[in-house]
Amino acid sequence: MTRVFFLFKKSLCNVGFSLLLFYLTVVNASARDLGLPDFATLFEQASPAVVNISTLTTPKARQSIYGPGGDEIPEIFRRYFGIPLPDETPSGRAQPLSLGSGFIISSDGYILTNNHVVEGADQIIVRLSDRSERSAELVGADKRSDLALLKIQSDRSLPVVRLGDSESVKPGQWVAAIGSPFNFEYSITKGIVSALNRSLPSDSYVPFIQSDVPINPGNSGGPLFNMNGEVIGINSQIFTRSGGFMGLSFAIPVDHVMWAVDQLKAKGHVTRGWLGVAIQDVDRDLAESFGLEKPMGALISQVVPGGPADKAKLHPGDIIVRFHERIINSSGVLPMSVGVINPGEKVKLEYIRNGKRKTVDVEVGQLPDENSAASEHRGNQIPSDKNPLGVQVAELDENYRSKLRLAKDIQGLVVIGVNRGAGRSIGLRQGDVITDLNNSNVTTVAEFKKVVTRLPRNRSISMRVIRGGNPGYITFRLQE
């Protein structure tokens, strides 16, 4: 009887084991059918075209991936340079330092990486997947998009990456990065696309791909792959409060990259289109103050005298909603759209002025070199009548223009005192210049008083303010 029970139990175990094997087989087959990512195959096929990049340079002082002296700079978009630079050797020469990654885009030795990886280097060294090293020539670089094109010589045909189409990328898609974080060469990390067309404070001309792929020092300049093993972007920046990866990484789309590469090959730099305006986003309050049904477009806060927008008769307060057949949902989309237009080309621009849509042809100019912002200066306090805003203003004379370094074409009123009230709550201070209030130009104290007395209550009111040479719109409400 005992033996019969044992045989019966053994038979049940065999049946259970068979059912388990059947279940695992079905699950694995279902996983394949569902298209779960095969990162092993991706790495095997793509990694030979990924390279490690080092530089030789003679640093003036010890630097780090944080700020000067190693102090942390919190809550900013950081570009990663890699491990802190070493001190100079007794001979005055620095040792090679692994700064980042790159990838080969042509079999004759053209390589893409980030500009910040190789900027200021005396010598650039590229290490290939077979661990051989080549000295690289800097063909060209573009600081605005953080791109650099290198060229190495080789006596054989080099492995190359396959380039994808960043326009077809969608949030939620699996992606992977290959690079050398902290000099751990050929490391692969994975994640998904989080968002598209991100505009960052330091790079308004790049429509970044946001992902949650872990990126660390040394990944800069490396490729971001889709699951077909195609490059869809170059890993460039992360957002962090701690100095390490926090789930927000940003890559330059490959379509934007290849647009720049053609120019880098031809002339060593990138030429961009220019509209000649300062813009800002339209939030809910601004939309209400301008009579819009919902927030949309790019609000012009300043027009450069003699620039393309000025010649097209665009004004501060105009809201650009379409440029060259592209809808401008937010201000961050406009610089990207203008930048890829060839200087001298005429395009259609649609904007809203006083609640009415208008269309104009604009001849796009060439984006000038970056200029440093003007320093902020403040005027002396002069008594003036009070108003519901709680601010004191004076007309711009030559004395104020000189102190504030304002151009002669700027018209408005300088803030010379701030008392309790709406002005203080929205952060107005001495030296600010108010040019528009509630969609009306104000150039004299009398005009200002007249507009202020008619300000509506319990609704959004817009005000255009110039501070330190930089214009912008702010909104506020006056309570009953």
- Angle CA(322)–CA(328)–CA(333) in degrees, nearest 5? 130
Instruction: Look at residue 441 and tell me if it is in a domain.
Output: yes
Listed range (63-72, 135-144, 364-373, 464-473) with the worst mean pLDDT: 63-72
Instruction: Look at residue 204 and tell me if it is in a domain.
Output: yes
Confidence band of 19 (pLDDT split at 50, 70, 90) = low
d(CA 427, CA 415): 12
Confidence band of 405 (pLDDT split at 50, 70, 90) = confident
Q: Last residue of some domain: 267, 294, 323?
A: 267
Assess whether 417 and 448 both reside in one domain: yes
d(CA 387, CA 394): 13
Q: Is the pLDDT of residue 372 over 80?
A: no
User: 228-277: per-residue pLDDT in tens?
Assistant: 999 999 999 888 776 667 889 999 999 999 999 999 999 999 999 999 99
- Of residues 290 and 30, more confidently modeled: 290
Stretch 200-227: mean pLDDT: 88
- Of residues 416 and 174, more confidently modeled: 174
Confidence band of 480 (pLDDT split at 50, 70, 90) = low
Predicted pLDDT of residue 57: 72
Q: Is the pLDDT of residue 67 over 50?
A: no
Confidence band of 385 (pLDDT split at 50, 70, 90) = very low
Assess whether 102 and 196 both reside in one domain: yes
Instruction: Look at residue 18 and tell me if it is in a domain.
Output: no
Q: Is the pLDDT of residue 227 over 90?
A: yes
Assess whether 277 and 261 both reside in one domain: no
**What CATH number is attached to the domain comprising 136?**
2.40.10.120
Instruction: Look at residue 252 and tell me if it is in a domain.
Output: yes
Predicted pLDDT of residue 11: 52
User: 448-461: per-residue pLDDT in tens?
Assistant: 888 888 888 888 89
Assess whether 250 and 225 both reside in one domain: yes
Predicted TM-score (pTM) of this structure: 0.67
Assess whether 202 and 318 both reside in one domain: no
Assess whether 280 and 241 both reside in one domain: no
Most confident of 57-66, 84-93, 181-190: 181-190
Q: Last residue of some domain: 214, 247, 267?
A: 267
Name the domain count of the chain.
3
Which domain covers residue 418, as residue numbers? 391-476
- Of residues 370 and 411, more confidently modeled: 411
Contacts of 86 (CB under 8 A, 6+ apart): 59, 62, 94, 95, 97
Instruction: Look at residue 208 and tell me if it is in a domain.
Output: yes
Q: Is the pLDDT of residue 176 over 80?
A: yes
Mean of the per-residue pLDDT values of the chain: 80
Predicted pLDDT of residue 242: 64
Q: What does the longest C-alpha to C-alpha distance in the chain come to? A: 114
Instruction: Look at residue 452 and tell me if it is in a domain.
Output: yes
d(CA 399, CA 117): 46
Q: Is the pLDDT of residue 18 over 70?
A: no
Q: Last residue of some domain: 216, 232, 267?
A: 267
Most confident of 224-238, 408-422, 465-479: 224-238
Percent of the chain with pLDDT over 90: 43
**What CATH number is attached to the domain comprising 429?**
2.30.42.10
Stretch 77-102: mean pLDDT: 54
Active site residues: 116, 146, 220
d(CA 231, CA 445): 59
Instruction: Give CB contacts under 8 A, 24+ apart, made by 289-296.
Output: 289/438, 289/439, 289/459, 289/460, 289/461, 289/462, 289/475, 290/317, 290/319, 290/352, 290/355, 290/439, 290/462, 291/354, 291/355, 292/319, 292/352, 292/355, 296/321, 296/328, 296/329, 296/330
Q: Buried (b) or exposed (e) across 15-47, using 16+ Cβ within 10 A?
A: eeeeeeeeeeeeeeeeeeeeeeeeeeebbeebb
Assess whether 261 and 285 both reside in one domain: no
- Of residues 456 and 202, more confidently modeled: 456
Assess whether 261 and 325 both reside in one domain: no
Assess whether 241 and 325 both reside in one domain: no
C-alpha dihedral sign at 179, 184, 190, 196: negative
Assess whether 174 and 263 both reside in one domain: yes
